[in-house]
Structure 1
């Protein structure tokens, strides 16, 4: 990635050559593209047909993640090809996947090429701004966009390490995680506050989602597919779960509490029938599926909003912080009471100082607010994970 170089005598050309890093060559190509007023898009690697048990390799070395880092460094679009293709191949299974790679584990036949192309087109259609529809062929027009591609969600940087995954809403990762409108999530700064070299930090939180829509929108499954035994996942939901169960805009609410009750609806947003469960039910689904894979689950109560009552942050009673604790106890998962811990800090700071910690009226934190919340999380995580 850096500016390192070595001098070699190229055995193929017979000439002396200065060899640079992967990052150097990619930067050079991107500069050339921009010099022609064209738009560069970086991709992660195509999937290779290399399996370990029932799991397929997700990227060769760190080249995919280096491309992801370069996309951030150079402020260009990024499309993850590796993980969507790995998800698809794992669904197919080793035998059927092998039919796509008749020669070796790297080069695919026509059907494999089509599947990779469809993955890339779905990503292109999910960028913001995206390509005009006229750019796509009749086949391309039929491909559903990967609507979240513009978010540039991360994936494990180094497959050799264990990972700490974060799932949640915009208080964990706001928008594309780039500080738009001065709004940041605490997950953006957890890596800095933990300062660990033994774990990848993978912030898969998506703004605007509830525990329900994180599951029904496929975000949980995509994150789970990246996890392996020994990994850790932090779950923080609640801010959006109080929204309406059914409407034409987001349809993201959950039934209050942690019970087994449900409501059958005709979802006005998706046009499909759906069975809506409680907040606790969705958390238990995620926790159960993670634990079944040998993943440690840690439940967090939602961070507090900037809502004052009698000079103090408004206390929550019989609400999401208490329900998150109940689920943690039911599932025997460690619990981080972010609502109380952060509220205590806000109360000590006082109303005037806390104002600087928010970038909007009462929900989304500024950089300094996100850093404060991340420090609270890090202080709780270090003893839990022996970091």
Structure 2
């Protein structure tokens, strides 16, 4: 038995050694650059991606490894001075590749107390000695070309193969044309490539030409966002990567031998956010009364997330479940989705009479058997029980539950809006705390805003009753929901909220 175990252990050990050896023998493609090569952690922070996150989809990664070492905010100078190039250089072996793209940040100040990342323009040997205000260190600042040349020559010294890219264009337009950088960083990058005898890809011109073919309206909001003219969306990053692959295919660089003939492009899945609740969230038709959920999508990056407003007027935490509305939502939930849930306005109704929508008050485990008119017997639970079930089942689906206290009614006492903190608002908070969901005190946040505006102005939001808002009131509440979500610093959802609520 011991011999068999030893034999199995030996086989497993040999297998892993062979795998490690195979990986070590694979050429590695290293990407170095700024945020247009890798934005943030390379996870699409803010919907922004770099081409280094997608170049691997154009390369046969069974034969070549891809590592993206770019860092947002760096210039050709600070990528070196921050020590980011050294680990790459130490890892390089003969036959590896280095894709190099800098320039977007090289035009900054040479010396200041915020970034101090600029380089001297051009490719010359001139330099400037500074006492760096930001780092407190003495530093010799060189030209853009000097730093690019240093990366190239050091990579070549290890037997690696450098490939220089002109920086991607910004989403700027002049008379239907995208300005090129041939007379600045793109041109200087090309000069260094020619002098060092390495492959140059004019990514700037290639991408600008493609942008012009599509037109500004098709580029803005698709390849770039309106709020950012420098960083690409996932589709923009894929386009840049595809043009690099095109440039490699046109070159005599050996990396072209690893390009896939028919790459399968995988864009990040759009995540979903579901809204469940009552009429203060729902689309209530054409009667002038509407819920905040109707306008919530205006504050969401809908290029990366789809908003589904599943709230229904007249429903309570009990009836939303009893009528199968929650089951319909639950069937659509996928890992990574979000559920915003706001109930309470109708939970105070009759438990055992017409409408049958009241839930037992509080957080307890007590139940009440109710004989409905024609639907048999229903077991009714407490408001807290229903809310905890929504939270629990959302989490079981791999989604994130976010509980909101209900928006306040237009009821005032002594100049203050009546809160729900000791009733459904408080129980909503308790449910989130007990079941492990996020809680947003929408009730108090909206009440504070109402008090700031004054009763006379708030009365205009409630045309028919003290519960249901008109369009202006719903839009205000949607902005407040978005602002609260943006404040959830430990939730990914805040990254999908567009700052349009100020």
Which of residues 242, 255, 263 is equivalent to 1:375? 242
The aligned counterpart of 1:260 is: 125
| 1:364 equivalent in alignment to 2:211 | no
State the match for 2:30 in structure 1: 165
CA offsets, 1:83-126, max 9 Å, x none? xxxxxxxxxxxxxxxxxxxxxxxxxxxxxxxxxxxxxxxxxxxx
Aligned positions of 1:211-360 closer than 5 A: 211-355=76-220, 356-359=222-225, 360=227
Relative distance call for 1:208 and 1:194 in structure 2 (3 A) is: same
Larger Rg: 2
Q: State the distance in 1 between where 2:247 and 2:22 align.
A: 23
- Measured in 2, the distance between the counterparts of 1:157 and 1:239 equals 37
Q: Partners in 1 of 2:50 and 2:42 — Cα distance?
A: 8
Task: Tell me the C-alpha RMSD between the 2 structures.
Answer: 2.5
Q: How far apart, CA to CA, are the structure 1 residues paired with 2:144 and 2:3?
A: 62
CA contact (8 A) 1:157 1:200 kept: no
The alpha carbon displacement at 1:11 in A equals 4.9
Cα offset for 1:226?
1.1
Alpha-carbon shift at residue 9 of structure 1 (Å): 10
Cα offsets for 1:240-267 (capped at 9, x unmatched): 0001101111110000000000000010
Aligned partner of residue 54 in structure 2, secondary structure? helix
Alignment match, 2:54 = 189
1:12 Cα offset (Å)? 5.6
In the alignment, which of 177, 189, 195 is matched to residue 42 of structure 2? 177
Kindly state the Cα deviation for residue 341 of structure 1 after the two structures are TM-superposed.
Answer: 0.5
Task: Give per-residue Cα distances to partners, 1:24-59, cap 9 Å, x unaligned.
Answer: xxxxxxxxxxxxxxxxxxxxxxxxxxxxxxxxxxx9
Hey, what's the Cα distance between the residues in 2 that align with 1:296 and 1:381? Answer: 13
Measure how far apart 1:364 and its partner are: 0.6
Unaligned runs of 5+ in 1: 1-7, 23-58, 64-155
**Structure 1 position 60, deviation (Å):** 6.5
Write the distance in 1 (CA, Å) between the matches of 2:19 and 2:114: 39
Distance 2:170 2:130 in 1: 30
Mapped to 2, the partners of 1:314 and 1:175 lie a distance apart of 26
Alignment of 1:112-151 (within 5 A): none
Matches within 5 A, 1:85-96: none
1:270 shift after superposition: 0.6
- C-alpha displacement at 1:321, in angstroms? 0.5
Contact 1:258 1:279 in 2 (8 A): yes
Cα offset, 1:315, TM superposition? 2.8
Distance change (3 Å), C-alpha of 1:169 and 1:327 = same
Give the Cα separation in 2 of the matches to 1:345 and 1:229: 35
Question: 1:194, CA displacement in angstroms?
Answer: 2.4
Instruction: Provide the C-alpha distance between the structure 1 equivalents of 2:102 and 2:18, rounded to a whole number of angstroms.
Output: 33
- Partner SS for 1:275: strand
SS at 2:89 equivalent = helix
Give deviations 1:274-300, integer Å, cap 9, x for gaps: 000000000111111111111111111
Q: How does 1:63-102 map to 2 (within 5 A)?
A: none
How far apart in 1 are the matches of 2:64 and 2:50? Answer: 20
Instruction: Structure 2: give runs of 5+ residues left out of the alignment.
Output: 259-502
Distance (whole Å) between structure 1 residues aligned to residue 218 and residue 244 of structure 2: 20
Give the distance between the partners of 2:66 and 2:140, measured in 1 at CA.
33
Q: Give, in angstroms, the shift of residue 197 of structure 1.
A: 2.4
Q: Secondary structure at the match of 1:238?
A: coil
How far apart are residue 318 of structure 1 and its match? 2.1
Residue deviations 1:211-250 (CA, integer Å, cap 9, x gap): 0000111111111111101111111000000011011111
- What corresponds to 2:67 in structure 1? 202
How far off its partner does 1:196 sit? Answer: 4.3
